Amino acid sequence: MTNSNPFRRGVSLRVREALHGYGFIVVWILGFSLFTFLPLIETFRYSLHQVTVTAEGIDLDFLAWANYTRALFTDPNFVELLIGYLIETLVSVPIVLIFSMIIALFLNLDFKLKGLFRTIFFLPVVITSGPVIKELTAQGATSAPGIANNPVVAEFLLGLPRALRNPVEYLLTSFILILWFSGVQILIYLASLQKVDKSIYEAAAIDGASAWESYWKITLPSLSAATIVNAIYTIITLSHFSENKVIQYIYAQTYNVHGGIGYASAMAFIYFGVMSLLLGIVYLFLTRWAKKESN
């Protein structure tokens, strides 16, 4: 596209555009590499060592992959926490996506007090971070532990196959919490719903498409890009949530006599690996779905 006319869009112009691009991003690159990227590399180095903090500085003792094998094969808690995290995330992501899509469809309609409702559904943004969620978990309000103890529910849970029991119990006890994670997602869906050209619906209606058909053939495909963004965003906020058990465990191990910085760094990298794997799978799954939808 750029090279359609080699005389006018020559090298110098391209170089100039690139320079402008770098100009816009240079501050970010500086900040990012200093405070995020360099520390990340350093953390990886720590994860290969036994790290002891002394009065003079930091002592490194090379261990190769011992920290990793310890986390994966010796530590009794870590792998279990990881599996719990995987299950919880895999259960939560579809719920958050479906819930926020439905709410966004509703909020895209015309009715009175629409603005107020939009505000209320966006409110979780200030709830899930900061002091509110801390206070809520401290008071035990984020989960409904009573539900799992209810005899009918308990019997129902026992009747389920083992593999399904944990996810379903998680779903029942943390349903409220899951819904509170959908603030930004609703916003993203709403934004892309409003970008859909209304005349497409008119054309479809003239061609005799029912509302049901136009939903599946027009609305849903045009939300596919937003769905991918939302899925990534949901996984990341869930994984970085301050009450996340894996994060709390890593945090506890950092300042633990038996754990230490090196060990915690190794666990952080394993957690990171698992998270990227999860993201990769969800991403591949959704892009394939999006491609199929757009055809």
**Footprint of other proteins on 233-272 (CB under 8 A):** 233, 236, 239-240, 247, 250-251, 254, 261, 264-265, 268-269, 271-272
Nearer to other proteins, 188 or 286 (CB): 188
Are 119 and 107 a contacting pair, CB within 8 Å? Answer: no
Minimum CB separation of residue 173 from other proteins in Å reads 14
Q: How far apart (Å, rounded) are the C-alpha atoms in residues 119 and 176?
A: 18
Smallest distance from the beta carbon of 179 to other proteins, in angstroms? 7
Cβ 191 to other proteins, closest distance in Å? Answer: 6
34 touching other proteins, by CB under 8 A: yes
Asked if residue 249 lies in contact with residue 78, where contact means CB atoms within 8 angstroms, the answer is: yes
Cβ–Cβ under 8 Å, residues 47 and 262: yes
Q: Which positions from 124 through 143 interact with other proteins, judged by CB under 8 A? A: 124-127, 129-136, 138-141
Residues in the chain, total: 295
Site for other proteins in 66-125 (CB under 8 A): 103, 105-106, 108-112, 115, 117-125
Q: How many residues bind other proteins (CB under 8 A)?
A: 106
Tokens 């058990």 sit at which residue? Answer: 245
**CB nearer to other proteins: pick between 127 and 284:** 127
Three-class SS of residue 160?
coil
User: Toward other proteins, which CB reaches closer, 170 or 253?
Assistant: 253
∠ CA 141-142-144, rounded to 5° = 75
* Residue choice 52, 150, 210, 256 for contact with other proteins (CB under 8 A): 210
**Tokens 């995020």 sit on residue:** 36
Structure tokens at 31: 């900040």
When asked if residue 290 is in the footprint of other proteins (CB under 8 A), the reply is no
Asked if 194 is part of the footprint of other proteins (rule: CB under 8 A), the reply reads yes
Say how many C-beta atoms besides its own lie within 10 A of residue 222's C-beta. 17
CA distance 102 to 189: 9
Given candidates 60, 66, 79, 229, which one binds other proteins under the rule CB under 8 A? 229
| Interface map 171-190 toward other proteins (x if CB under 8 A) | -----x--xx---x--xx-x
Cα distance between residue 193 and residue 28, in whole Å: 31
Residue bearing tokens 């320079």: 19
Answer for which of 98, 164, 211, 281 binds other proteins (CB under 8 A) is 211
